[in-house]
Structure formats: structure tokens, C-alpha cells
Amino acid sequence: MTSYWLMKSEPGECSVDDVLAAPNATVPWFGVRNYQARNFMRDAMRVGDGVLFYHSSCAEPGIVGVARVASAPYPDPTQFDVKSPYFDAKSRREEPRWTLVDVQVLRKTRNLALPELRAHDALQDLVVLRKGNRLSITPVEARHWRILSKLLDHP
């Protein structure tokens, strides 16, 4: 059973174009330091799950690409790298605290931006549109995925 997700990335850190420029258009989703988001990657994601690639903390936040989960979960190497901003001194190699998956971008889309998302009644309860939502990874219901796929293809 395929599941669907929305994953936020700051384009200043890693944009959809950055991922497309990487080998196999695939990157490890490192740097997540929120337990709920980690648990989605560690416990719920499966290879092949659909991913909406979302740009946050930028001029025009919105969905900018379609991606897929491209690996099983594995430990985020940046947690052990003292030079990384994501270093976690409390994490031990025998028992890593932070887990990630690889994400492969399948295609770049137009920017389906927040105001347009909010304008659709059928998307009202999309998690990312909820007030105060800060979670960088959120589940997307199949019915929302279908609507969003169409919107991304047909402006």
C-alpha cells in the first residue's frame, strides 16, 4: 500500500533544482531533528511512496515537484559529524537517534503556491495548510494526492 507525503525543504539549503542536479536526482534527507518527522521516515515510509516536494521559508512557499521515497531508512550521518550544524552530541553510533531516507525527484512542476492551495475547498484539511503547522514531513491523504497531482499538471 503506497502512502503519500509532503516534505519541506528550504530552497536556500536544498532546492528541487539542487536535487535534480544530484546523481540519480536523489539526495539523503538529512538534518531532520524533530521526532515526529523522524518517526514518519523511520517507521512509516516505504520505498516508492509518493512525495510532494515543498519549498519553505522563501519568497513563494509551495509545492514545486513530485518525488518518491528511494531507500529504506538508515542513520543520518550528519548527527555524528562534529562539523555539521546537525551534529548531535547525545546520539551514539550503537543507537543512532536520527534516521533518514533517500528522496528522488521524479519531476519538477510549476510552483503550486500557498494561496492557490488554500483556495481549494477540497484541500482545506491538508495538514500543511493547518494553522501553526511546523512539521517538516506530513502525511498526505490519497484523495489529496490525486487532486494535487492534477493541479500540478494542469495550471
Partner DNA sequence: GCCAACGTTGGC
Binding footprint of DNA on the chain (CB under 7 A): 8, 10, 33-36, 56-58, 61, 114-115, 130-136
Minimum separation from the CB atom of position 23 to DNA (A): 26
Q: Give 1's contacts (C-beta < 8 A, 6+ positions apart).
A: none
How far apart are alpha carbons 80 and 77 in whole angstroms?
6
How far apart are alpha carbons 42 and 45 in whole angstroms?
7
In terms of CB distance, is 55 or 108 closer to DNA? 55
Minimum separation from the CB atom of position 1 to DNA (A): 26
Minimum separation from the CB atom of position 55 to DNA (A): 8
In terms of CB distance, is 47 or 80 closer to DNA? 80
Nearest alpha carbon to residue 51 among 121, 2, 14: 2
In terms of CB distance, is 36 or 124 closer to DNA? 36
How far apart are alpha carbons 15 and 85 in whole angstroms?
18
